[in-house]
């Protein structure tokens, strides 16, 4: 198999650090003058109308500044929150669902690891899914992104990456459960996860770790042969449609709003393998992927197939980057940028400096025409130490976490475009957070119409803010009110959290419509009603079909023979929401959650003769403890 860039000079050339081509102020001023000023208020007015239609006190119009006294900050017992927040769980491999503004944890959704309360990874369907996706027992979730249609949340799915094993998962928001995982070929360390908008045509997995391609034991020691790719995943099928090979590695990503551009930050333009070498150059890149141009290249067969995926060469010197429509534009930014996010109006991509105290504002409209993509850099405000990620309120402000300063800085985007480079003038205010924030997210910040009221700062350290619980401290997710431009940002709540939220998406409650019970049409397992109970035996295989309901299983006992392969198909026939059962089988490492109208199936070998009380692990009624069935395993003759 040939490498996509086999004959490419890139393999022998030394990638000397690109010189910074940031223009001087005087050179750039004429360009600044050419940039059309976008009216940020437009989006705000639309949101305001929507909020009043919804009659929801928690939703601000994007252009309205509202005092904290006039908004709901406490959610009374029995009342509902205004928003869902989907927080990643980092190396717990899960997603957590919070309500906002209460910051109550409503649910946990296991994604990359088994989880016993749900029986996720215990029944046949979910354990096969985890097995097919590589069979790892954990993952590292960072960036939960919710699907959109027309740049607004459509309630279908959430997606999240696995940085540890190069995977992407899909969560079905009808059931709030993981329904697909793709093990991304040719990619290690899938970091950014984000959608191509306006309609979530692709979910992009952004490859952080550079490895030889194929990573099969060859080219181990020559880092020049290491590569990293972005992967375009079809959200419906979760197939990887194509990948693009790049110089340097990649980190975070975000999609433009108009279906053309996709942005990633990256460090290691040096192609190094040690930390000191990776930060030796003064600049790295934001890469802007021209998606339609890439699609054309794929159509035209201009790729090499690698592990079943068309891989397009987007390295700087590739033929596809030489014509008048390069497929990847490399924009020079200060070294080791971290987050990149597109403004709600789709005009700018803003990359945070991390090692540099500035953010880089890239004008997206000019990117297509610019001979030198560096000409599209239209602002570089000085924000503070350790800028990592940026979120938006829809009123023209950006909010950036300052990891080293332990602050969130609020700044004016247009002022940053007008100001000279490294000016602090665009900074409006800073608020202390506790401590060392990584990501932050504002309500609906990833859409075209952020709500502009709440922001969560996902702080890596809590230090002494909570009761001590041993050497491992909780992290601290702080809720900040950003809806009042006169009074400024207000810290409203501290929320201890278990390791380790990296990013979140905040979605208005009315945009999701989760099911209360399962629809049997939505799964392949056979629904077992009271009249369908059955035990069939054939050649050492036993198939038990039974139901569960308050307070019984379809069989009071099930007798099998040592060595039998047993499949149990179990339906919860309840119609009543919130009445869950499970079937837990002691000493067989089995527990299957059964929500109302849900059927699950589990297959195991009955290899130890004895009596095992299969029981229901959800406290479902007064006779819950009595809800059990006896599994009798008779010794083989």
Chain contacts with ligand CUA (rule: CB under 6 A): 581, 616, 618-620, 624, 627
In the complex with ligand RUQ, the residue whose CB is nearer, 250 or 327, is 250
Residues, the chain, total? 637
The nearest distance, CB 252 to ligand RUQ, in angstroms, is: 6
Q: Give the closest residue to 442 by CA, choosing from 154, 42, 83, 95.
A: 83
The nearest distance, CB 632 to ligand CUA, in angstroms, is: 21
410 binds ligand RUQ (CB under 6 A): no
Burial of 365 (0-12, 13-18, 19+ CB in 10 A): middle
Contact partner at residue 616 from ligand RUQ, ligand CUA, none, CB < 5 to 8 Å by partner kind: ligand CUA
| Site track for ligand RUQ across 104-143, x = CB under 6 A | --------------------------------------xx
The nearest distance, CB 471 to ligand RUQ, in angstroms, is: 22
Rounded-to-integer distance, Cα 208 and Cα 226, Å: 11
CB neighbour burial string for 260-294, b if at least 16 within 10 angstroms, e if fewer:
bbbbbbbbbbbbbeeeeebbebebbbbbbbbbebb
206 binds ligand RUQ (CB under 6 A): no
CA 351 to chain centroid, in Å, comes to: 18
Contact partner at residue 581 from ligand RUQ, ligand CUA, none, CB < 5 to 8 Å by partner kind: ligand CUA
Q: How many CB atoms lie within 10 A of CB 597?
A: 20
Please list the residues that pair with 148 across neighbouring strands: 153
Q: Which residue is nearest to ligand RUQ (CB)?
A: 438
The nearest distance, CB 558 to ligand CUA, in angstroms, is: 17
- Extract the runs of DSSP E, i.e. beta strands, from 226-376: 226-233, 240-246, 253-255, 261-265, 283-290, 304-306, 309-313, 328-334, 340-342, 348-352, 359-363
511 binds ligand RUQ (CB under 6 A): no
386 binds ligand RUQ (CB under 6 A): no
Spatial neighbors of 127 by CB under 8 A, at least 6 apart, are 114, 121
Contact partner at residue 399 from ligand CUA, ligand RUQ, none, CB < 5 to 8 Å by partner kind: none
Binding residue for ligand RUQ, selected from 205, 314, 384, 438, defined by CB under 6 A: 438
167 binds ligand RUQ (CB under 6 A): no
Residues 235-274, interacting with ligand RUQ (CB under 6 A): 252
In the complex with ligand RUQ, the residue whose CB is nearer, 390 or 443, is 390
In the complex with ligand RUQ, the residue whose CB is nearer, 271 or 439, is 439
Rounded-to-integer distance, Cα 427 and Cα 593, Å: 51
388 binds ligand RUQ (CB under 6 A): yes
Rounded-to-integer distance, Cα 535 and Cα 553, Å: 13
191 binds ligand RUQ (CB under 6 A): yes
Contact partner at residue 624 from ligand RUQ, ligand CUA, none, CB < 5 to 8 Å by partner kind: ligand CUA
Pairing of strands 83-88, 94-100: antiparallel
Rounded-to-integer distance, Cα 592 and Cα 603, Å: 11
Contact partner at residue 58 from ligand RUQ, ligand CUA, none, CB < 5 to 8 Å by partner kind: none
What's the CA dihedral at 314, 320, 325, 326 to 10 degrees?
A: 30
The nearest distance, CB 621 to ligand CUA, in angstroms, is: 7
Contact partner at residue 439 from ligand CUA, ligand RUQ, none, CB < 5 to 8 Å by partner kind: ligand RUQ
The nearest distance, CB 191 to ligand RUQ, in angstroms, is: 6
In the complex with ligand CUA, the residue whose CB is nearer, 353 or 554, is 554
Rounded-to-integer distance, Cα 590 and Cα 616, Å: 12
Please list the residues that pair with 482 across neighbouring strands: none
Residue 209 carries which DSSP code? E
In the complex with ligand RUQ, the residue whose CB is nearer, 94 or 418, is 94
502 binds ligand RUQ (CB under 6 A): yes
**Sheet with 167-172: strands ordered across:** 145-149, 152-162, 167-172, 177-183
How many residues of this chain bind ligand RUQ (CB under 6 A)?
11
Spatial neighbors of 598 by CB under 8 A, at least 6 apart, are 517, 518, 523, 571, 572
Contact partner at residue 406 from ligand CUA, ligand RUQ, none, CB < 5 to 8 Å by partner kind: none
The nearest distance, CB 310 to ligand CUA, in angstroms, is: 50
Residues 575-634, interacting with ligand RUQ (CB under 6 A): none
Report the Cα–Cα distance between both ends of the chain, in Å, rounded.
54
In the complex with ligand RUQ, the residue whose CB is nearer, 40 or 86, is 86
Binding residue for ligand RUQ, selected from 96, 118, 271, 439, defined by CB under 6 A: 439
The nearest distance, CB 567 to ligand RUQ, in angstroms, is: 40
Q: How many CB atoms lie within 10 A of CB 217?
A: 7
| Whether 197 contacts 153, CB under 8 Å | no
Q: Give the closest residue to 316 by CA, choosing from 332, 302, 304.
A: 332
Token pair of 391 as six digits: 């979120």
CB neighbour burial string for 165-200, b if at least 16 within 10 angstroms, e if fewer:
bbbbbbbbbbbbbbbbbbbbbbbbbbbbbbbbbbeb
The nearest distance, CB 142 to ligand RUQ, in angstroms, is: 3
In the complex with ligand RUQ, the residue whose CB is nearer, 184 or 542, is 184
Binding residue for ligand RUQ, selected from 338, 493, 511, 588, defined by CB under 6 A: 338
Residues 344-373, interacting with ligand RUQ (CB under 6 A): none
Contact partner at residue 380 from ligand CUA, ligand RUQ, none, CB < 5 to 8 Å by partner kind: none
In the complex with ligand CUA, the residue whose CB is nearer, 298 or 585, is 585
Binding residue for ligand RUQ, selected from 257, 287, 389, 410, defined by CB under 6 A: 389
User: Within 35-123, where are the H helices?
Assistant: 41-54
Residue 616 carries which DSSP code? -
Contact partner at residue 438 from ligand CUA, ligand RUQ, none, CB < 5 to 8 Å by partner kind: ligand RUQ
In the complex with ligand RUQ, the residue whose CB is nearer, 408 or 568, is 408
* Residues of the shown chain interacting with ligand RUQ in the complex, contacts defined by CB under 6 A: 142-143, 191, 252, 338-339, 388-389, 438-439, 502
């Amino acid at each position: 198999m040939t490498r996509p860039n086999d004959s490419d000079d890139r393999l022998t050339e030394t990638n000397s650090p690109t010189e910074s081509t940031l223009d001087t102020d005087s050179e750039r001023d004429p360009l600044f003058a050419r940039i059309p000023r976008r009216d940020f208020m437009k989006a705000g007015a639309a949101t305001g109308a929507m909020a009043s239609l919804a009659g929801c006190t928690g939703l601000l119009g994007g252009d309205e500044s509202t005092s904290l006294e006039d908004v709901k900050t406490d959610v009374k017992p029995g009342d509902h929150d205004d928003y869902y927040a989907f927080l990643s769980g980092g190396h717990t491999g899960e997603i957590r669902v919070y309500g906002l503004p209460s910051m109550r944890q409503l649910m946990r959704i296991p994604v990359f690891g088994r989880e016993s309360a749900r029986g996720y990874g215990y029944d046949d369907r979910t354990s096969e899914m985890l097995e097919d996706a590589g069979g790892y027992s954990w993952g590292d979730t960072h960036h939960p992104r919710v699907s959109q249609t027309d740049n607004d949340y459509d309630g279908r799915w959430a997606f999240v990456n696995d940085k540890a094993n190069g995977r992407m998962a899909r969560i079905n928001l009808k059931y709030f459960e993981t329904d697909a995982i793709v093990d991304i070929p040719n990619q290690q360390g899938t970091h950014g996860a984000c959608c191509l908008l306006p309609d979530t045509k692709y979910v992009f997995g952004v490859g952080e770790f550079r490895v030889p391609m194929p990573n099969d034991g060859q080219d181990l020691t020559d880092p020049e042969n290491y590569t990293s790719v972005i992967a375009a995943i079809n959200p419906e099928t979760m197939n990887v449609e194509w990948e693009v090979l790049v110089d340097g590695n990649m980190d975070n990503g975000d999609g433009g709003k108009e279906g053309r551009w996709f942005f990633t930050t990256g460090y290691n333009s040096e192609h190094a393998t040690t930390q000191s070498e990776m930060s030796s150059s003064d600049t790295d890149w934001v890469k802007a992927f021209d998606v339609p141009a890439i699609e054309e290249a794929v159509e035209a067969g201009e790729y090499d197939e690698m592990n079943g995926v068309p891989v397009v060469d987007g390295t700087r010197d590739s033929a596809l980057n030489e014509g008048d429509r390069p497929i990847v534009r490399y924009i020079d930014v200060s070294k080791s940028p971290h987050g990149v996010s597109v403004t709600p109006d789709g005009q700018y991509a803003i990359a945070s400096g991390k090692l540099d105290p500035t953010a880089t504002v890239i004008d997206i409209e000019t990117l297509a025409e610019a001979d030198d993509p560096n000409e599209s850099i239209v602002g570089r405000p000085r924000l503070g130490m350790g800028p990592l990620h940026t979120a938006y309120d829809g009123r023209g402000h950006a909010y950036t976490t300052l990891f080293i300063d332990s602050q969130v800085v609020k700044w004016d985007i247009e002022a940053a475009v007008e100001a000279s480079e490294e000016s602090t003038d665009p900074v409006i205010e800073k608020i202390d957070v506790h401590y060392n924030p990584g990501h932050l997210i504002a309500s609906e910040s990833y859409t075209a119409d952020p709500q502009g009221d709440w922001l969560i700062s996902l702080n890596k350290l809590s230090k002494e803010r909570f009761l001590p619980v041993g050497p491992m401290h909780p992290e601290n997710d702080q809720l900040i009110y950003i809806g009042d431009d006169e009074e400024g940002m207000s810290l409203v709540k501290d929320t201890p959290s278990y390791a380790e939220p990296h990013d979140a998406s905040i979605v208005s409650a009315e945009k999701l419509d989760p099911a209360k019970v399962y629809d049997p049409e939505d799964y392949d397992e056979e629904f077992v009603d009271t009249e369908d109970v059955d035990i069939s035996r054939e050649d050492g295989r036993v198939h038990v079909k039974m139901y569960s309901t308050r307070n019984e299983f379809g069989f009071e006992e099930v007798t099998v023979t040592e060595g039998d392969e047993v499949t149990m198909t179990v339906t919860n026939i309840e119609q009543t929401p919130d009445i869950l059962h499970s079937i837990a089988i002691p000493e067989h490492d089995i527990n299957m959650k059964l929500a109302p109208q849900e059927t699950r199936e589990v297959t195991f070998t009955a290899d130890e003769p004895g009596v095992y009380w299969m029981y229901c692990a959800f406290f479902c009624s007064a006779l819950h403890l009595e809800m059990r069935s006896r599994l009798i395993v008779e010794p083989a003759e």
